[in-house]
């Protein structure tokens, strides 16, 4: 029998418990242990049964039960104390207040991402990109940075992972009712749901309502297309995260980018909060946000398209997380033409060049979302120092004439939100020996090294025990789903040991992350697992994209190896990797393993979370580990860079991994003193806390974004908008002039005086350059001497630039005018020395001299 009507009944809390509603709806509880403890203590058994979900917990009580709870004066006082704590958190002076007092800071920032990993209760994430976005919002809240998040609400999230009897990944898509989640519907003043509307091809109209998740101080707006008025395809558009391809993916990204901008307008109108001045595009999925903002300026301010582009670029920040071209969304030009032809003021003929791969090796027939993201953002970054370098090489075709090091893609290394990821037992230990500010200040991590080693060793065993118990439960549940009976699963009560060296590995499972590298030589791995004196145990988790058959085969290979009765007590694969699992896994591991194919790991923040819980990293020098490994905070797996044969490279690096585990990792862990303490190991852990602790914080990351990107972007956007967008118009006109002039400009001649037959350090070279500027004025260019080491083929490296000053205009050899620039270069190094002269565009609106991709070299 089916119901003819369905609606949701909300829990009505008695007045003494009314604050619980606000406390449960603000996701600060997901990183505030005292608030979680409050909910747990209401009914510990129910708290476990609802998987630590405050909204579900409150909904599980009957009216009579709630009345009984309201009569508990101790509970009521705890509820009101928690409400006061939340209010203090939301209103207390913040780091951003001081920052904004010192300079022109953005009044509001919009942060767009296709996924957000805030808590397992709100499963709107697939992996690292979403977890990073969630940590970004949480840390922005802690710091008081005025961010509003923009994303999509996925009715079935990513997917729930289980295993078949033969170890094959299986996907299910449980439906999540927004009314059962810590979300509230954004409504107009008359109470009707607020909506954004988009035009789609074939005279279709797409509507989406807006759900709000409150992440501490930060509102996260999620667009949901499952609404009346949409056709079936429209209602299913936001059903799954990364679930569709082709036109469905394109329309999702239109809703995220274009609809997201429109949602910010609605939010500001309804709440009175400032409109965003800075728009941060976290990966290319939301790239269409730039087109919507251009449309607003063309239709609302009367700007020409090119002028609007310059106004929009100034306030846009683009972050790339993708180290491989295959990871970028690309659409056919015909799809773009069909879908974007109705966006007001934005001619498709102007849109197509923004995403066109018009560079060597590119495909001009496709529209590249990352390329558009870079072209529509004046400021861009990778997510580690190495990834920034990889990105500069990957996208250097957009800036011809410049060395990779000059490509305007900066680096801001990711961080993790310590209150989310540090286990309460570690927090309690720090509070006992360091003070209550452990996770509130970066300096406190340096003091954590003062904790007595025997106390930390005791707590670490408790964390291992905690992981062991959680893993046993999960393995048992997994085997029941795989078809086993309870009677044959007694062995699951004996898997793992809290006294064995525990190595963790949990990631998405694309090929380059090499889940099965550790299985390269199975017999050797078995020996390490079963070593009678120095055994290891491995806890492994990870999801493969549902369409990635290769990734699923890797999971199956790992599962079938771990199923062997001889070793299954020492190696396990846990399906269903999510935030909830991770919060037990990271603290319980002694070592965090990461063995990607270098340099394809953009950052890899899971190792940071392990480090904050007293874990040591064992990793390929890739991502963040490449810049922060110091020889004492873990181990670097040697890489076989340059070996072209993939099998040969895997063999070499697998053997290097085995050698490190046997001869260094296990040897150090099991080397105990008379008190049973591994003193050298604990010294490395203490060093990790004090050196890595301050660096890997997401608060450090958000401060970096704010200081290096958000504030300059806001200031640039304000300058562009002054006097009727005068600078935007001037810059657009200058770009056209420079693009027309540079092909006709030339360096006619360079004179150099002062170089003796035996030049030495300290000598000065007087350089005089004669340049025809193709119609540009001297003040519209920078003329530089670029000098450095020089190879036998005359290639410069390790270069320094020295500006030349305009001297005069004189007639050129052909009778035309040319400009003379001159300056002095001081020789500051021994060895081979070379120089050249180049000409670059100059305009006060440019953030870097390479921004236009124009360079004239002598």
**What would the two tokens of residue 212 be?**
């709000």
The pLDDT-based confidence of 445 (bands split at 50, 70, 90) is: confident
Edge to edge, the sheet with strand 616-620 lists 571-574, 536-541, 501-506, 591-594, 616-620, 634-637
The pTM (predicted TM-score) of the whole model is 0.95
Question: What pLDDT is recorded for position 570?
Answer: 98
Nearest Cα to 605, choosing from 127, 5, 52?
Answer: 127
The pLDDT-based confidence of 442 (bands split at 50, 70, 90) is: low
Residue 813 has pLDDT above 90, yes or no: no
Which value, in Å, is the radius of gyration of the alpha carbons in the chain?
Answer: 29
Tens of pLDDT, residues 184-243: 999 999 999 999 999 999 999 999 999 999 999 999 999 999 999 999 999 999 999 987
Tens of pLDDT, residues 752-792: 887 777 788 888 889 999 999 999 999 999 999 999 888 88
Question: What pLDDT is recorded for position 440?
Answer: 60
Mean pLDDT, range 512-517, rounded to an integer: 92
Question: What pLDDT is recorded for position 443?
Answer: 66
The pLDDT-based confidence of 70 (bands split at 50, 70, 90) is: very high
Question: What pLDDT is recorded for position 71?
Answer: 95
Residue with tokens 């791969």: 357
Instruction: Note if the bond before 376 is cis, omega within 30 degrees.
Output: no
The pLDDT-based confidence of 794 (bands split at 50, 70, 90) is: confident
Mean pLDDT, range 597-616, rounded to an integer: 94
Mean pLDDT, range 75-99, rounded to an integer: 97
SS3 13: coil
Question: What pLDDT is recorded for position 437?
Answer: 60
With residue 135 as reference, give the H or E element that holds it.
Answer: helix 128-143
Q: Which of 183-192, 677-686, 814-823 is predicted least confidently?
A: 814-823
Question: What pLDDT is recorded for position 303?
Answer: 97
Question: What pLDDT is recorded for position 244?
Answer: 75
Mean pLDDT, range 286-290, rounded to an integer: 97
The pLDDT-based confidence of 368 (bands split at 50, 70, 90) is: very high
Question: What pLDDT is recorded for position 830?
Answer: 81
Tens of pLDDT, residues 120-165: 999 999 989 999 999 999 999 999 999 999 999 999 999 999 999 9
Q: Higher-confidence residue: 380 or 830? A: 380
Is 112 in contact with 130 (CB distance < 8 Å)?
no
Residue 11 has pLDDT above 80, yes or no: no
278: exposed, middle or buried (Cβ count in 10 Å: 0-12, 13-18, 19+) = buried
Is 694 in contact with 443 (CB distance < 8 Å)?
yes
331 to each of 63, 252, 292, 365, 696, how far by Cα in Å? 53, 13, 18, 9, 36
Residue 5 has pLDDT above 60, yes or no: no
Mean pLDDT, range 42-51, rounded to an integer: 95
Tens of pLDDT, residues 295-306: 999 999 999 999
Dmax over Cα atoms in the chain, in whole Å? 99
Mean pLDDT of the chain: 93
Counting residues of the chain whose pLDDT is more than 70, the rounded percentage is 97
Mean pLDDT, range 827-847, rounded to an integer: 91
Mean pLDDT, range 594-599, rounded to an integer: 93
Tens of pLDDT, residues 627-654: 999 999 999 999 998 888 999 999 999 9
The pLDDT-based confidence of 246 (bands split at 50, 70, 90) is: confident
Residue 256 has pLDDT above 90, yes or no: yes
**DSSP character at residue 567:** T
Question: What pLDDT is recorded for position 272?
Answer: 96
Tens of pLDDT, residues 537-570: 999 999 999 999 999 999 999 999 999 999 999 9
Residue 356 has pLDDT above 60, yes or no: yes
Distance CA 150, CA 220 (A): 6
CA 390 to chain centre: 16
Question: What pLDDT is recorded for position 614?
Answer: 94
**What would the two tokens of residue 394 be?**
């990957």
543: exposed, middle or buried (Cβ count in 10 Å: 0-12, 13-18, 19+) = buried
Nearest Cα to 607, choosing from 507, 486, 756, 509?
Answer: 507
Is 451 in contact with 433 (CB distance < 8 Å)?
yes
Question: What pLDDT is recorded for position 814?
Answer: 63
Q: Which of 3-12, 312-321, 502-511, 565-574 is predicted least confidently?
A: 3-12
Question: What pLDDT is recorded for position 538?
Answer: 98
Question: What pLDDT is recorded for position 320?
Answer: 96
Mean pLDDT, range 689-707, rounded to an integer: 95
Question: What pLDDT is recorded for position 177?
Answer: 92
Residue with tokens 């296709």: 114
Question: What pLDDT is recorded for position 676?
Answer: 94
Question: What pLDDT is recorded for position 446?
Answer: 76
Residue 398 has pLDDT above 70, yes or no: yes
Bridge partners (DSSP) of residue 382 are 411
824 to each of 442, 635, 747, 749, 797, how far by Cα in Å? 45, 47, 18, 16, 20
Tens of pLDDT, residues 403-420: 899 999 999 999 999 999
């Amino acid at each position: 029998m089916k119901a003819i009507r369905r609606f949701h009944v909300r829990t009505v809390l008695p007045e003494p418990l009314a604050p619980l509603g606000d406390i449960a709806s603000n996701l600060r509880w997901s990183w505030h242990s005292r608030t979680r403890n409050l909910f747990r203590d209401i009914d510990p058994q129910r708290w476990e049964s609802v998987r630590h979900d405050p909204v579900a917990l409150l909904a599980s009580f009957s009216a009579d039960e709630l009345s009984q709870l309201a009569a508990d004066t101790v509970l009521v006082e705890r509820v009101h104390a928690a409400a006061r704590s939340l209010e203090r958190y939301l209103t207390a002076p913040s780091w951003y207040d001081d920052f904004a007092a010192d300079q022109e800071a953005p009044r509001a920032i919009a942060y767009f991402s296709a996924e957000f990993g805030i808590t397992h209760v709100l499963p709107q994430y697939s992996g690292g990109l979403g977890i990073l976005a969630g940590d970004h919002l949480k840390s922005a809240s802690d710091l008081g940075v005025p961010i509003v998040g923009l994303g999509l609400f996925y009715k079935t999230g990513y997917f729930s992972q289980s295993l078949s009897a033969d170890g094959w990944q299986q996907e299910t898509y449980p439906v999540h009712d927004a009314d059962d989640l810590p979300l509230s519907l954004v409504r107009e003043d008359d109470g009707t749901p607020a909506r954004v509307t988009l035009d789609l091809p074939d005279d279709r109209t797409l509507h989406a309502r807006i759900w709000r998740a409150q992440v501490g101080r930060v509102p996260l707006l999620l667009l949901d297309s499952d609404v009346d008025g949409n056709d079936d395809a429209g209602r299913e558009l936001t059903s799954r995260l990364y679930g569709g391809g082709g036109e469905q993916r394109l329309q999702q990204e239109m809703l995220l980018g274009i609809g997201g901008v429109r949602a910010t307008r609605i939010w500001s109108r309804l709440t009175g909060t400032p409109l965003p001045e800075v728009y941060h595009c976290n990966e290319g999925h939301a790239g269409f946000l730039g087109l919507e903002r251009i449309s607003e300026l063309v239709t609302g301010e009367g700007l020409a398209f090119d002028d609007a582009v310059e106004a929009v670029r100034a306030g846009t920040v683009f972050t790339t997380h993708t180290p491989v071209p295959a990871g970028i969304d690309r659409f056919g030009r015909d799809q773009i033409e069909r879908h974007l032809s109705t966006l007001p003021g934005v001619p498709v003929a102007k849109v197509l060049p923004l995403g066109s791969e018009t560079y060597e090796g590119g495909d001009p027939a496709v529209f590249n979302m990352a390329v558009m993201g870079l072209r529509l953002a004046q400021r861009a970054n990778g997510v580690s120092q190495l990834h920034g370098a990889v990105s500069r090489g990957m996208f250097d075709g957009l800036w011809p004439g410049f060395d990779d090091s000059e490509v305007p893609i900066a680096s801001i290394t990711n961080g993790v939100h310590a209150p989310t990821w540090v286990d309460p037992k570690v927090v309690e230990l720090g509070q006992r020996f360091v003070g209550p500010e452990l996770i509130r200040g970066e300096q406190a991590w340096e003091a954590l090294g003062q904790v007595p080693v025997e106390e930390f060793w005791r707590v670490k065993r408790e964390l291992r025990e905690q992981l062991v118990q959680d893993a046993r439960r999960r393995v048992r549940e997994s085997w029941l789903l795989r078809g086993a009976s309870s009677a044959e699963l007694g062995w699951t009560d004996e898997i793992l040991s809290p006294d064995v060296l525990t190595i963790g590995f949990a990631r998405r499972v694309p090929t380059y992350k090499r889940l099965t590298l550790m299985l390269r030589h199975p017999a050797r791995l078995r020996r390490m697992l079963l070593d009678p004196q120095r055994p290891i145990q491995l806890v492994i988790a990870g999801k493969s994209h549902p369409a990635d058959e290769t990734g699923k085969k890797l999971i199956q290979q790992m599962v079938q190896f771990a199923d062997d009765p001889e070793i299954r007590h020492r190696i396990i694969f846990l399906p269903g990797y999510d935030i909830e699992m991770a919060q037990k896994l990271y603290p319980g591991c002694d070592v965090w393993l990461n063995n990607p194919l270098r340099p394809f790991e953009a950052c890899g923040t899971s190792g940071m979370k392990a480090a904050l819980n007293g874990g040591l990293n064992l990793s390929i020098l890739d991502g963040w580990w490449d810049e922060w490994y110091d020889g004492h905070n873990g181990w670097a797996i040697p890489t076989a860079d340059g070996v072209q044969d993939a099998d040969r490279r895997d063999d070499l690096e697998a053997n290097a991994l085995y050698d490190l585990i046997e001869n260094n990792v296990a040897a150090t862990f099991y080397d105990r003193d008379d008190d049973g303490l591994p003193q050298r190991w604990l010294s490395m852990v203490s060093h990790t806390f004090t050196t890595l602790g301050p660096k890997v914080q997401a608060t450090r990351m958000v401060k970096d974004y704010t200081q290096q990107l958000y504030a300059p972007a806001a200031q640039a956007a304000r300058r562009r908008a002054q006097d009727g967008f005068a600078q935007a118009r001037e810059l657009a006109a200058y770009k056209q002039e420079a693009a027309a002039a540079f092909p006709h400009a030339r360096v006619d001649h360079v004179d150099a005086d002062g170089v003796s037959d035996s030049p030495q350090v300290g000598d000065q070279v007087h350089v005089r350059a004669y340049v025809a500027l193709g119609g540009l004025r001297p003040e519209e260019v920078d003329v530089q001497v670029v000098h450095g080491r020089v190879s036998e083929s005359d290639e410069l490296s390790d270069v320094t630039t020295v500006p030349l000053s305009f001297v005069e205009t004189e007639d050129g050899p052909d009778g035309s005018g040319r400009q003379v620039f001159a300056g002095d270069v001081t020789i500051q190094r021994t060895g081979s020395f070379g120089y050249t002269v180049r000409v670059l565009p100059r305009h006060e609106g440019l953030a870097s001299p390479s921004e236009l991709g124009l360079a004239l070299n002598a």
